[in-house]
Structure 1
Amino acid sequence: MLNKKLSVITVLFLLLALIFYVLAFFYPEGLYWRYAGIVFSLLASITIGYNLYLSLKKR
């Protein structure tokens, strides 16, 4: 069973990454939007990996 709290956090990170990628598309002069999207994508990947680790550890 996946951790519900981590799943919600992961979805929030993915939504924030998507928002920042859209902002980077419409405002290409600001590189910080793209960097923020990359950071939130990495955070989402880490939380997905940790969630999978916890679910496999429980078995």
Structure 2
Amino acid sequence: MFDYELHQLRSADLRRRAEHERLVRAALRDGRAARRPAGPETPEAESHTGRSRRHRFTRAA
């Protein structure tokens, strides 16, 4: 029974941590959105959309 209770406590702790991390990410995302200028998108902001990510370094042979 003791092992089961430890498992339950650990599981609940992991759920709390995951929820906290989701809240932190949402707060950061909302903060970034609030700092963005309202209105039409600027060309600089659109320059990275639709572009595939390039790797920083070339592949080794």
Normalized against structure 1, the TM-score is what? 0.51
Match of 1:41 in 2: 17
Query: Structure 1 stretches of 5 or more lacking a match?
Result: 1-27
- Who wins on radius of gyration, i.e. which is larger? 2
- The structure 1 segments of at least 4 consecutive aligned residues displaced by more than 2 Å after TM superposition are none
Amino acid in the other structure paired with 1:52: L
Query: Structure 2 stretches of 5 or more lacking a match?
Result: 36-61
Match of 1:57 in 2: 33
- Greater share of helix: 1
Q: More relative contact order in 1 or in 2 (CA 8 Å, sep 6+)?
A: 1
Amino acid in the other structure paired with 2:15: V
2:8 is aligned, of 14, 17, 32, to 32
Percent identity of equivalent pairs: 12
CA-atom RMSD in angstroms: 1.1
User: Aligned-pair distance for 1:50?
Assistant: 0.1
